[in-house]
Structure 1
Amino acid sequence: MILFPAIDLLNGNCVRLTQGDYAKEQIYSGNPNEIANQWISQGAEALHIVDLNGAKTGKSTNQAIIQQITSNTNVPVQVGGGIRSIEQIEDYLAIGVDRIILGTAAIQNLPLIRHAVSTFKEKVAVSIDARNGYVATEGWRKTSNVLAVDLGRQLEAIGVQTIIYTDILKDGMLQGPNFSEIETIQKATSMRVIASGGISNVEDVIKLKEMDVYGTIIGKALYDNSLNLVELLEVTADVG
């Protein structure tokens, strides 16, 4: 299982939001590149970056910072946040991003997903952000009437290989992931699932690995020092 330290970018800073609420922003660093290097020096095998400005506006506001990170790192970087066109995907791939994450576009523009997956194959993943089992869109500000598991089946049918599943009500709360929903998604599809939201302790990560989850994204727990990445990598290496 791959552990992805999260780097959330807002107005050029590395931040964390609680439950995706832009009014509940905590700034951890004004130097995201330094944060990226910190996680890599501790053994991170990949990074998960979200352009929160982009998620809100649909414009790749923090692309220059992301390019700085990809230019200075030697691990795969996946990026999401407001990527809603083929041109944006091409721009990110051109600056060294390894995997592009589409979110809102998945529910509002399935033809875009089809085109992107057909063109870029495994380099395109889709983020399913859910609130009470229903897909949320536009930086988590709106909730649709589409069940997350139904969207998962739809995405697999059009060729998506990897999804990021986030339970918004768990995100930033350090109360543990929504294991039952993650298991439901895993059983309903054969896609690679990256779990996100609520990781708070070593036991959470071990359980996800035992569930054979492809990867997990860890944010607040690392920034608040509830979890130590070096120790976490050592412990999970010995699991199953």
Structure 2
Amino acid sequence: MIIPSLDILDNNIVRLYQGNYKKIKFYDNNLFFLIEQYRLNGAKLLHLVDLNGSRDPKKRQIKFIDKVVKNINIPVQIGGGIRNIEDIESLLLSGVKRVVIGSIAINNREEVKKWFIKYSEKLVLAVDVFINDKNIKEVKINGWREKTNVDMIDLISEYVEHGMKYLLCTDIKKDGTFNGPNISLYKEIVKKFNNLLIQASGGVSCLKDIEEIKSTGVNDVIVGRALLENRFNLSEAISCWQKGSFLV
């Protein structure tokens, strides 16, 4: 499916360029009105990112996110600064459909494996990958600011063995650029992990990009900036996804 994405910083809708908090763009859309428009245009799931939490887990926008979840009519998956089982269970109790975890899956692997065993249907592993000139795919964490020297495939394989079902993969170099998605990356992941439910993220600029992502075999594509800046609307994107061909 097409999953609209909204990044929230200080209760505002924003976009970062490749995760850089110094390259930030604010949008003056009313958050609740925009979400309702997404619902009316066919959204079945909303992806929210708490950028305050991503930058500093102690500053998660807990009250605001809770307000959003309780006052909209779309299931939500949310990530940003999740660091313990209490964070996960609190969000699930508030009505969140799925919780996205990233940095903690590197920093506390044994604990996170237990979470996947317990909440396999409720957790999404977010893998933010930086691909260098030698095609080494390194996972980055903490708002993409910290290197890990962890290989993408190795990390995914480790959690698949412990019940992981949902994977969200973002090519950091593509995110927020309008330069098109990394098609070869998603083909590689689908071929290697054909039992995973995979969400592609980063680089979508036009309906043709959606057509190309669909061809990789991923289950979903997350679209943020392209919708905010009216490159196309959600109804067009959903139609493209369903038909497997882009609209002229």
Q: Does 1:103 align with 2:108?
A: no
Q: Does 1:232 align with 2:237?
A: yes
The one-letter code of the counterpart of 1:191 is L
Greater shift, 142-151 or 85-94, is seen at 142-151
Give the match for residue 60 of structure 2.
Answer: 61
SS at match of 1:216: strand
Question: Number of matched residues?
Answer: 239
Q: CA deviation at 1:60?
A: 5.8
Q: CA deviation at 1:30?
A: 6.5
* CA offset digits 1:138-177 (Å, max 9, x no partner): 0100122111111111111111101100001000000111
Give the match for residue 172 of structure 1.
Answer: 176
Q: CA deviation at 1:67?
A: 2.0
SS at match of 1:150: helix
SS at match of 1:82: coil
- 5+ residue gaps, structure 2: 132-136
The one-letter code of the counterpart of 2:140 is A
* CA offset digits 1:5-45 (Å, max 9, x no partner): 11101111011101000011111136422322221122211
Runs (4 or more) in structure 1 with deviation over 6 Å come to none
Q: Does 1:137 align with 2:177?
A: no
In structure 1, what is the Cα distance between the partners aligned to 2:173 and 2:84?
A: 28
**Counterpart mapping for 1:37-56 below 5 A:** 37-56=36-55
Give the match for residue 154 of structure 1.
Answer: 158
Give the match for residue 198 of structure 1.
Answer: 203
SS at match of 1:122: coil
- Computed over aligned residues only, the root mean square deviation of the Cα atoms, in angstroms, reads 1.5
- 5+ residue gaps, structure 1: none
Is this contact kept in 2: 1:206–1:239, CA < 8 A?
yes
CA pair 30-10 structure 1, distance change in 2 beyond 3 A:
farther
In structure 1, what is the Cα distance between the partners aligned to 2:40 and 2:69?
A: 15
Is this contact kept in 1: 2:187–2:217, CA < 8 A?
no
SS at match of 1:128: strand
SS at match of 2:120: helix
Q: With structure 2 as the length reference, what TM-score do the two structures score?
A: 0.92
Q: CA deviation at 1:195?
A: 0.3
* CA offset digits 1:185-219 (Å, max 9, x no partner): 11222211100000111111112222221111101
Give the match for residue 90 of structure 1.
Answer: 89
Q: Does 1:13 align with 2:17?
A: no
In structure 1, what is the Cα distance between the partners aligned to 2:102 and 2:26?
A: 24
Greater shift, 213-222 or 111-120, is seen at 111-120
Give the match for residue 221 of structure 1.
Answer: 226
Greater shift, 224-233 or 43-52, is seen at 224-233
Is this contact kept in 2: 1:19–1:168, CA < 8 A?
yes
Report percent identity of matched pairs.
36
SS at match of 2:13: strand
In structure 1, what is the Cα distance between the partners aligned to 2:235 and 2:59?
A: 32
In structure 2, what is the Cα distance between the partners aligned to 1:217 and 1:142?
A: 23
SS at match of 1:232: helix
Q: CA deviation at 1:115?
A: 1.8
The one-letter code of the counterpart of 1:137 is I
SS at match of 1:236: helix
In structure 2, what is the Cα distance between the partners aligned to 1:114 and 1:166?
A: 21
SS at match of 1:194: strand
SS at match of 2:150: strand
